Chain A
Amino acid sequence: MAPRGQNVGIDGPEQLERALRSAFYLADDGLATAAYLALALGKPLLLEGAPGVGKTEAAKAISGVLARRLIRLQCYEGIDAATALYEWNYPRQMLAIRQAGDQPIDIYRDEFLIERPMLAALRSPQEAVLLIDEIDRSDHEFEAFLLEFLSDFQISIPERGTLRAHERPVVILTSNRTRELHEALRRRCVYHWIDYPDAEREARIVMMRASSVAESTARAVVAAVGKLRREPLTKPPGVAEAVDWAEAATLLHARGARWPDAFKRAIGVALKDEEDLTYVSGRLDSILAEAAA
């Protein structure tokens, strides 16, 4: 078993929060605590939340803070070990056998092994953060297969035997909650539910991400986005959409558009679904007027 806990040089959630802020990510107390505990306990971090609340961004920021490479494994329905773990380079093996002729040859050497994200993270745990993105898109078989990896950090390659990490790699899982994850998976992880940030923090996020945006614009956008999220929309605007909207409106304003009009004309970056647009179109003026007030 790989030794637990990591010497990542971070002392407490407050310090991690400061470090994340310098990596341009504003984490709330809950997220900073969960991330710190995951690092200190050597457990994977499972982040769940609605699309667009910054789960993947959080993983990127954490890898930035640790100064490690981010290895991303995007999950999809039907993902299997060959895409996630390793694959043998069959054509090369075949050629090598041909070439060798009568000589004995080991076709299971490293040069014939194609490294996939999970194996890569296992082989260099100190240099990488493994992000298993949108785990809810994969199917149950893959989730069950992940369990072995996440509890023992080892991989069995039948031709080579068991590979074990000499140190626990940092693993971050994200899920949009399109389906219920298995209890056993949640149990092995440190868990955090990322909610939409409150208005105050979201305004700060907008200003930090888009430096050209004035404070009043950021606040108005955040208030409007907050109202839109309470409507039954197909795709409620996420944090990234709020940033884009503020930036787009600022740009239009600089080109001479008047204020409420600039917001209205830039709505396309916040709402990206035709039916959502028709649904709110009637009330958009009043929403914007209230938000700007």
Chain B
Amino acid sequence: MSILPRAARPFVTFPALLRANGFAVAPEQTTAFIEAIGLLGPKSMADIRRAAHATLAPPPERRPAFDALFGAHFLGEMEMGDQLAAPEDETVRVQEERARGAEPLLSDEVNEAGQDATTAEALSARRFGEESDFEILRRFARAAPARMPRRPGYRHMRARRGTSFDTRRTLREAVRNDGDVMQLRRLKRRPRQRRVLLLIDVSGSMKERTETHLRIAHALAHAVERIEVFTFGTRLTRVTRAMRLKHRAQALAATATIVSDWDGGTRIGDALRAFLAVPRFAGYSRGAAVIVLSDGLERGDPSAMRNAVTRLSRLAWRVSWLTPLAADPNFTPQTEGLKAILPLVDDLADGSSVRAVCDHVLNLQESQFRMSAA
């Protein structure tokens, strides 16, 4: 750093400050940042700020934090607390996980003596009980990769009996045989696993089962590709990133801190509407196997729930609504909300036990075939 002119030092130390605060900044971005400042003059602080935005590329949802750090570093402002705090309001809000928010939980260090408090301890606001249905989940995770619903992908692979010709390979072989085509090579579409979207109700009425459902989500998140997990109650929270943590206890603890509407009321319609209003989230449900784990006891307006489920069912490949109320074989939906969505969902099935949920997920593909054969 000593070879740099004195005036350039703040520009080199700023990326270091960003890294310390969980932004990913590569050395080449630092170089680009300094070059950009040179190109722009700089005539004012605004030039430097714009150069920082363009070259250091903070994700849009962390822009306020980035600007606060920028202010603190270059202008000596100290107002970080205000900028980082989120406003509180009554409407259903979408919560995005902070990119690196769950990081301390990744640590595998266990402080046996308990002399230093670890972050993981402090964050476990809600404790989960002892392992249950452990064996079922393990078998489920083992069986899941092979039994997830699939669709033909857009990429091709070699196949003996394929639907299209592999012109490239055929030609290469023809060149070897003086231009004679001895055998037509074929391609077929490579099957691709459909995205799985789990929407887990964490409201008060589902209190008993929330933990089990999150365990199932965790098992599934590690067994299959392309999965998204959201929780909803009075809010909608994306917990996919927390679910990716390898250790179940850590994943559940991380989820416990991210989700802030445990055991509250349910506004399913509003939560689903919030889900569909974010194009990025709505995109997750396109062509996906959507599994809703909820009792469908809606506190809000049932028509909002009906509209949202209508849209969801149009986007998704299949919507399964698993409710604990359906454990009884003679179950017929009684609540207004469930009655309204009955014709819209593909399955309204038993979600009362781990086994029931796991079996349903594993049989999604087959039940689809059964439906189309009938």
CB nearest neighbor in B for A91 = B167
Q: Is B127 an interface residue (CB 8 A)?
A: no
Min CB distance B317 to A, Å, is: 14
The contact of B54 among A79, A88, A178, A190, by CB within 8 Å, is A190
Cβ-based interface call for B153 (8 A): yes
When the two chains form their complex, are residues B153 and A183 in contact, meaning their CB atoms are under 8 A apart?
no
Docked CA distance A34–B269 (Å): 40
> A40, A88, A178: which has the most chain B beta carbons within 10 Å?
A178
Q: Is B168 an interface residue (CB 8 A)?
A: yes
Bound complex: CA of A91 vs CA of B24, how far in Å? Answer: 48
Give the interface segment out of B33-41, B320-328, B358-366. Answer: B33-41
Contacts of B46 in A (CB 8 A): 29
State the Cβ distance, A31 to closest chain B Cβ, in Å. 9
Q: Which B15-58 residues have a C-beta within 8 angstroms of A?
A: 24, 26, 28-29, 32, 35-36, 39-40, 46-47, 50-51, 53-55, 57
A43 touches B32 (CB 8 A): yes
How many chain A residues touch B (CB < 8 A): the figure is 48
Which residues does chain B contribute within 8 Å of A34, judged by CB atoms?
50, 53-54
A33: Cβ under 8 A from any B Cβ: yes
Q: A29-B46, A88-B168, A234-B311 are in contact. Are A191 and B53 (CB under 8 A)?
A: yes
Could you tell me if B279 and A191 are in contact, using CB atoms closer than 8 angstroms? no
In the bound complex, do residue A177 and residue B36 qualify as a contact, i.e. CB atoms below 8 Å apart? no
Residues of B within 8 A of A191 (CB): 53-55, 57
Interface residues of B (CB under 8 A from A): 24, 26, 28-29, 32, 35-36, 39-40, 46-47, 50-51, 53-55, 57, 60, 63, 92, 153-155, 167-168, 170-171, 174-175, 179, 181, 273-274, 276-277, 279-280, 282-283, 307, 310-311
8 contacts between A and B (CB under 8 A): A37-B39, A37-B54, A41-B39, A77-B154, A78-B153, A176-B280, A177-B279, A187-B29
A residues whose Cβ falls under 8 Å from a Cβ of B = 12-13, 29-30, 33-34, 36-38, 40-41, 43, 46, 48, 50-51, 76-80, 88, 90-91, 93-94, 97-98, 107, 176-179, 183, 186-193, 232-234, 275, 278-279
